Amino acid sequence: MSNWMDRGLGFAVPLLIALSVSALVLLAIGESPLDTFSLMLTEGFGSPRRLASTLSAATPLLFTAVATAICFRAGVFNVGVDGAFLIGGLAAVVAGFSLPAELGWALAPLCLAIGSVFGAAWLFVPGWLLARLEVDEVVSTLMLNFIAVAITGYLVNGPFLSRQSGNNVTPPVHEAAELSRLMPPATLHSGFLLAIALLAAYAFWTRRTPAGLEGAWVGLNRRFSRMVGVSVQRTIILAMVLSGVVGGLGGAAHGLGQLYRFTDGFSAGYGFTGMAVALLAHNSPLGMLIGAILFGALASAGTTIQLFSDIPLDLVNIIQGIVMIFAVIELGRISIRRRAKA
């Protein structure tokens, strides 16, 4: 069973239960479940444009899921990917409008790099605290999320506030810093390709590199790792920093590819949805791909579905909520195991 789940089918059971419950709800309000589900399927995947919209919504989740998985498989309970996403996003956007536009094609990669460096520095702090001083990483990373919201909120409402806009946004980035759109007018941008590349790199790292092996061992058994000569401290810090790189890149891609600016409320809980994806996928690359696309489809179908039917948007929330419950169960299972080990 667990092997089967690890191959990326961890979503099947939660999804089936979620669909059954929503079918009951639909029957109760006098709608046909089959019609509704087929409408959702059409809205999510029915045409190239709709598919693009689904993949676009899945893009930030791919980043945050990979960022979470890097830490979770090493037994590091990092719940601070959302903070790295915000910090990396703001850093990349600020670079995107304040660096000279004359840098041309080099501007976008430079901004992405800046976003990843900020994300890495952000999560290095709790990683160092955990490795050296055994500061509980759940507490420190959770707190850092609030700090990230507060700092970025202050900056976007103060020093970096756009004078041309009535909303709480920064000025737009230079055109040269924008990530190209893959299928205009859909918002799917080349950040999606970057996310897929990172997913592949993650798969390679976990299976084919010494550091990836060490990460898994540290996650399974720290005493064993120490005994065979692995530095547990270094592995923990590396996992946090890599998680920050990926999380920061996610925010940068979202800012440069989707919004072209930083706004108040930049992350719609992407860090946490990504965590749910990683949990249900048991950190497997294929599972995270499926999960991110699933959540992306729900989000993009949900917004259009109420335009074309009497189904309220809440239905999507019910489905998402039930799948989330399973993610929370998985989280609880891991945390019980973690406490038993301590």
Partner 1 sequence: MTTIALGATDIRKSYGPVLANQGISLSVGPGEIHAVVGENGAGKSTLMRVLQGIERPDSGHVTVMDRDVSFGGPADALAEGIGMVHQEFMLAPDLSLLENLVLGDEPVRWGRGALALIDWKSAEAQGRELAERIGIEVDWHRRAGAAPVHIQQFVEIIRLLRRGTRVLILDEPTAVLAPQQVNELFDLVRRIREDGTAILFISHKIGEVMSLADRVTVIRQGKIAFSAAIAETTGEEIASHIVDGAKPVTDEVKRGTPGKAVLEVTGLSAATVEKSHPLYDISFSVHAGEIVGLAGVAGNGQIELMEALSGLRRSIGRVELAGVDLSGLGADRRRAAGIGYVSPDRRQEGLAIEASIEENTIAGSHRSRPISNGLWLERSAMKRVALERLSRLSVKYGALHDRVGSLSGGNQQRVVFAREIAVSPQLLLVSQPTRGVDLNGIAAIHGILRDFRDAGGAVLLVSEELDELQVLSDRIMVMVRGRIVGTLGADADRREIGRLMVMEGAGA
Binding site for partner 1 (CB under 8 A): 204, 207-210, 213-214, 216-217, 220-221, 223-231
Q: How far apart are CA 272 and CA 260, in angstroms?
A: 23
Closest to partner 1 by CB, 165 vs 209, is 209
Nearest-approach distance from CB 226 to partner 1, in angstroms = 6
Closest to partner 1 by CB, 183 vs 213, is 213
Nearest-approach distance from CB 222 to partner 1, in angstroms = 9
The CA dihedral of 290, 296, 300, 306, to the nearest 10 degrees, is: 80
In contact, 99 and 107? CB cutoff 8 Å:
yes
Closest to partner 1 by CB, 63 vs 217, is 217
Nearest-approach distance from CB 217 to partner 1, in angstroms = 5
CA atoms within 13 A on the CB side of 215: 25
Amino acid in the structure at residue 67:
A
Nearest-approach distance from CB 314 to partner 1, in angstroms = 37
Nearest-approach distance from CB 66 to partner 1, in angstroms = 19
Nearest-approach distance from CB 221 to partner 1, in angstroms = 4
Closest to partner 1 by CB, 49 vs 234, is 234
Bridge partner residues of 181 (DSSP):
189
Q: How far apart are CA 204 and CA 328, in angstroms?
A: 28
Closest to partner 1 by CB, 79 vs 279, is 279
CA 241, 245, 251: angle at the middle one, nearest 5?
135
Nearest-approach distance from CB 189 to partner 1, in angstroms = 30
Q: Which residues of 239-255 are buried (b: 16+ CB within 10 A; e: fewer)?
A: bbbbbbbbbbbbbbbbb
Closest to partner 1 by CB, 4 vs 146, is 4
Give φ, ψ of 181 to 5 degrees.
-85, 135
Closest to partner 1 by CB, 192 vs 217, is 217
CB neighbour list of residue 14: distance below 8 Å, 6 or more residues apart: 280, 322, 323, 325, 326, 327
Q: How far apart are CA 291 and CA 338, in angstroms?
A: 24
